[in-house]
Amino acid sequence: MDNERNTATTRSKWRVERYAPCWKKAWDELVDRSKNGTFLLRRDYMDYHADRFADCSLLLLHGGKLLAALPGNVCEGHFYSHQGLTYGGLLMSPAITYAQVAEALALAFDYLRGECGVARVTYKAIPYIYHRYPAEEDLYVLHRMGARLAERSIASAAPVADLLPLCRLRRRRLKAAAEAGFSIVEDEDFAAFWPVLEANLMERHGARPVHTLDEIARLHRAFPEQIRLFRVCLDGRTEAGCVMYLTDCVAHAQYSSATPFGKEHGAMDLLYRHLSAERYPDKRYFDFGISTEQGGRVLNDGLLAFKEGFGTRAVMYDVYELELPGQPQNH
């Protein structure tokens, strides 16, 4: 009985608020001071595609203080954290403890089940390399709740201050790039790079970039320091390029592509080497991104080997699923 009374007292200190625009300042401040938040979780980034996803983000306050937040959207009784983002797990204040994370997630899931009619949760964990401070309490809580690992994608990253040597093939490609006479330009000419990216994605995967040219330009205007463009040029032509996403700890290659000529003459080798070894000495990691499709079930071996040639090694991008107990109510 005493344990039940203590649990009830602890739970009563928490309050759940569903995100609304009036919470924008508090939300963004939590992202900036959290153990694990990045600019992708700030509202100006999340809300650029608000028309496509029904936002159901939650703020979790303890004793009146905002200790955690859960970005997400709902679709047909399913909560995703977040369908429009690469990752989106629980944002945690540096002050939060494991016990409080357990309480916060339990309360959030109770709210989603009772107030939003949610029966299933898909939880995209934030990879550890993006954490400012250790922040994997949520993974243990999910394990104890019975969540299952639904997707696992292999990404390639390397510590900027301790890069492994290039493999022999990458060194040869760098020599070819030097002989071609490429130059690397950092600017805002996304319009010059986007056709190269679109053509490459369509040819190799029959797909388009997640962001349109207008969307990436708008996001760059909102986050000019975090979203940067680098192009490899020759005689005024864009032969390769990379859009970098910069967080406090990680320089992440979000989009990269080359023309057939650029590929043949090592343009991406030149650019990746410059970015990973020279451009961002203040970052902990350089993240080349994932080399998988279909939730990690399909591995692009050639792409992974290409990235490993720069001295990168594996980091997991994990997604968990959890069935919420009880009968959800529809409000």
Q: What is the per-residue pLDDT across 154-209, written as a single tens digit (0 to 9) for each? A: 999 999 999 999 999 999 999 999 999 999 999 999 999 999 999 999 888 788 88
DSSP conformation class of 228: E
Alpha carbons 14 and 61: distance in angstroms, whole number:
5
More confident residue, 169 or 326: 169
Q: What is the per-residue pLDDT across 207-266, written as a single tens digit (0 to 9) for each? A: 888 899 999 999 999 999 999 999 999 999 999 999 999 999 999 999 999 999 999 999
- What's the pLDDT at 165? 95
Q: What is the per-residue pLDDT across 32-71, written as a single tens digit (0 to 9) for each? A: 999 999 999 999 999 988 888 999 999 999 999 999 999 9
Residue identified by tokens 């959207």 is 73
Q: What is the per-residue pLDDT across 40-50, written as a single tens digit (0 to 9) for each? A: 999 999 998 88
**Burial class of residue 42 (count of CB atoms within 10 Å of its CB; 0-12, 13-18, 19+):** buried
All domains in the chain, ordered by first residue: 2-146 (3.40.630.30), 157-316 (3.40.630.30)
- What's the pLDDT at 11? 62
Q: What is the pTM of this model?
A: 0.92
Alpha carbons 236 and 208: distance in angstroms, whole number:
25
Our CA dihedral for 234, 240, 243, 247, rounded to 10 degrees, sits at -90
Residue 34 and residue 90 in contact, taking contact as beta carbons nearer than 8 Å? no
The answer, yes or no, to whether residue 17 has pLDDT greater than 50, is: yes
- What's the pLDDT at 327? 52
Instruction: Give the pLDDT mean for 84-102.
Output: 96
What one-letter code names the amino acid at 43?
R
- What's the pLDDT at 205? 76
DSSP run (H or E) holding 185:
strand 183-187
- What's the pLDDT at 325? 85
Buried (b) or exposed (e) across 213-223, using 16+ Cβ within 10 A? Answer: eeebbebbeeb
* Mean residue pLDDT across the chain: 93
Q: What is the per-residue pLDDT across 285-297, written as a single tens digit (0 to 9) for each? A: 999 999 999 999 9
